[in-house]
Structure 1
Amino acid sequence: MRIRITKSSILFIISIAFILLLLIYIGIYEIFQTLISADPMYIILAVILQIIVSLMLAMRWRYITKILGYKVSIKNLLLLVLMGQFINNITPSMKGGGEAFRAYYLSKLEKIPKGLTFSTVVVERVLDTGIFLFFTLFVIGYFVIKGFKYLEYLILAWVFLFLLTAITIYLIINKKLLIKIVTKASRFICKYCSYNYDEEKILKSIDEFYNSMKFLKNRKASEVFVAVFLSIGWYALDILKVWLLFLSLSYIVSIVSVATVYLITLLSGVLSITPSGFGTADTIMILSFSAFRISPSVAAAVTLLDRFVSYIIPTIFGYISMLIIKKELEK
């Protein structure tokens, strides 16, 4: 058996080593004692919330595709959402290439034009990022007043994410520039990956993408509100999930503090080069909880539990979902 050591694998190993050093510094015994005192009932509830979050993401995706005139299987969408989470979890930063894979395989499974499927995931990303930037702006303002050791890092991550979103929106508006970028990138990929370059097919997909974006743009405000509501809803449940992990340790903490640290952690993962923000996000999470005068051992225990609920379980489910999707396509 030949073992291929990829860049992501090396970064993952380094991240694990970094987390272990951090845990040793805090105190492995104290963290272990805190973990074994956890109430499994709250952890099970957190896992259920994680599943509900995935289901809400699938429902939102189905709603957006329904606006475009396509009735899509909720089972396929849930499998694709889980597969996307798996890909995001094994790629650098906390949001990787899962969206592109979701769009591609949705087109294959449901026989929907690729341009339309890609437009749906772009709408999802813009919604999520817009809401996230709005709320994190208040968090950064709070830490500007109160002070935070890694404030410059957070501001840099916020600016980077804002610029990335602005560029994405600009490309959506500027069709000629998008065509130029996509065709050049496609030629490069086809040249080095032995794919056939089909410019007519690419241009057709771009036209489909723009037509669907125009269609979504002209929808009623009430239809857009449903998608926004579902976007805010999954963020709220994700925050509630972390709060439940504190309750599992019989530790009472403000939901506002949890929400603040949650947003900071996601923001810190934007600039991370490690898979799913491993190491970087965990350190920021522990330090941020400590800034709210939460015991380091409790903060570390909650961070580990959150990794189990939000990373390990979705990664396992996502991998299984990917195998099911590939099996479906083989049929």
Structure 2
Amino acid sequence: MSGCEMSNFEFSFKKIVPFLLVGFVIIFALAAAVGTEDIIEGLSQVDKSTYALAFLVQVGAIVVWLSKWKILTMSISINVRTRRMFPILLSGIFVNTAVPSAKVGGEPLRAYMFSKLGNVSMEKSLATVMADRAVDGIPLIAILFSSLISVILMGNLPLYGLVLLLSATAFMIVVVIAFLYVCLRPSSAMGLSFWLIRRLRRIISKFRPVKYVERRVEEFMGDFGRGARAILGNKRYVSSALGLSTCYWLLAVFRMWLVFFALGYPDISLGAIGLAVTLGLVLHVVPIPGGLGVVESLYVLIFKAAGVSPGIALTAALLDRGISFWFTSLFSGAGITWSSLELSRSES
């Protein structure tokens, strides 16, 4: 990351703090509503060895993600060492986890770092990253659908909760389908890009000739489209990636189940866990790092519908987020630090 980009990132990082405080306020309000005594009692009952195992499962899930991305890069003959790809992947995870998604996206950063540190063209680099996320969409929708039906059949959801979950599910499905469509039909994205260029013609012309920008966009989208189609059209590699993606999501469900098991609630509905894991991603769009406070509120709503007491539901939510948000932020933070240093060395 260049000096200018690094300073911009640090500036963005400073702006995270007020949003973090908002997230803490929401969590404290939740705790007050549920009862801090119940939370303290729940924490005192945690089986530490089982909870520690949940941390290992989270690390295992990230390794599975790395293997999936590696397979997709191999499908178009990109051979970058796995130990170099790992911190690059962690860089993207860090931004997606710790930085509000409304501000910055982890995928563009991962593609940029992979292009620079892996000596890969930006078009191919972005194609592998987008294909990686596109492959995740299929098992994600399958788990989301089956989990939603399971929770609805329990019949414990209040009307506002049902409306919220259905709306969030519909939003996620639309986003996933649109993303898959763009990856498979990059010409649609090119049309949207040209439409935006025409609307911003006056602004663009102050920096670059409009024709030059249109030509560069056409070249980029053409190369990106060929790369994305080459990856997603390779059935052998995509099948392996789909299997690993399914394994990744199941590990995420298993991690949260271990949290409940550590609390002494092994009979928690797997459907409720699957719904919490998948819909929690939707709430990352709020301008709070990792949807802090908002995601926990969703978890409590879902687990309460699954018959779990509010105190245990919030305790489980806090313990799981201790892994999926706080631990993952620290773990992936090491990756973005290493990648940034390597990028600075290569540029200097």
Instruction: Provide the C-alpha distance between the structure 1 equivalents of 2:32 and 2:114, rounded to a whole number of angstroms.
Output: 44
In the alignment, which residue of structure 2 is the partner of 1:164? 175
Asked if 1:92 corresponds to 2:100, the answer is: yes
Q: Displacement, 1:211?
A: 1.2
- For the residue of structure 1 that corresponds to 2:228, the secondary structure is helix
The one-character-per-residue Cα deviations of 1:29-74 (angstroms, maximum 9, x if unpaired) are: 2211221332221122111111111111111100000011011221
SS in 2 for 1:68: coil
Change (3 A) 1:290 1:166: closer
| CA distance in 1 between partners of 2:126 and 2:324 (Å) | 25
Q: Distance between the aligned counterparts of 2:323 and 2:11, measured in 1?
A: 29
Matched AA of 1:325? S
Partner of 2:308: 294
Deviation string for 1:76-111 (max 9, x for gaps)?
222122221211123336996111211111111101
Q: Which amino acid aligns with 1:298?
A: I
Alignment correspondent of 1:329: 343
C-alpha contact 2:101 2:286 (8 A) present in aligned 1: yes
Q: Assess, with a 3 A threshold, how the Cα gap between structure 1 residues 264 and 109 changes in structure 2: closer, same or farther.
A: closer
Equivalents in 1 of 2:198, 2:337: separation in Å?
27
Matches for 1:55-66 after TM superposition, within 5 Å? 55-66=63-74
Q: Using a 3 Å threshold, how does the CA distance of structure 1 residues 144 and 36 change in structure 2: closer, same or farther?
A: closer
TM-score (norm 2): 0.83
Q: CA RMSD in A?
A: 3.1
Q: Which runs of 5+ in 1 are unaligned?
A: none
Name the residue aligned to 1:122: 130
The residue identity in structure 1 corresponding to 2:331 is F
How much has 1:328 moved relative to structure 2?
Answer: 0.9
**Letter of the structure 2 residue corresponding to residue 88 of structure 1:** N
Q: Does 1:239 align with 2:253?
A: yes
Correspondence 1:93-242 to 2 at 5 A = 97-145=105-153, 146=155, 148-149=157-158, 150-182=161-193, 184=196, 199=213, 201-220=216-235, 222-242=236-256
Please state whether the residue corresponding to 1:111 is helix, strand or coil: coil
- 2:61 is matched with which residue? 53
Amino acid at match of 2:128: T
Q: Distance in 2 between matches of 1:97 and 1:242?
A: 25
Which amino acid in 2 is paired with 1:281? Answer: V
Instruction: Specify the SS of the correspondent of 2:110.
Output: helix
Q: Secondary structure at the match of 1:276?
A: helix
* Unaligned stretches of 5+ residues in structure 2: 1-9
Q: Is the 8 A contact 1:58 1:78 kept in 2?
A: yes
SS of residue in 2 equivalent to 1:294: coil
CA–CA distance in 2 between the matches of 1:204 and 1:103? Answer: 17
Aligned to 2:324: 310
Question: What letter corresponds to residue 294 of structure 2 in structure 1?
Answer: T
What SS does structure 2 have at the residue aligned with 1:306? helix
2:328 aligned with 1:320, yes or no?
no
Select the residue among 70, 76, 79 that pairs with 2:84: 76
What amino acid is the match of 2:222?
A: D
Q: Cα gap change, 1:4/1:276 in structure 2, threshold over 3 Å: closer, same or farther?
A: closer
In the TM superposition, residue 209 of structure 1 has moved relative to its aligned partner by 0.9
- Percent of paired sites with the same residue: 21
Separation in 2 of the partners of 1:100 and 1:187?
23
Structure 2 residue corresponding to 1:282, chosen from 292, 296, 302 = 296
Contact 1:88 1:95 in 2 (8 A): no
Shift of 1:185: 6.4
Q: CA separation in 1, counterparts of 2:239 and 2:134?
A: 14
Amino acid at match of 1:163: V
**SS of aligned partner of 2:290:** coil
Shift of 1:5: 9.0
Indicate yes or no: 2:31 matched with 1:23: yes
For 1:90-148, what per-residue CA distance to the aligned partner results, in whole angstroms no more than 9, with x for missing partners?
A: 33369961112111111111011111111112112222122212221223333444252
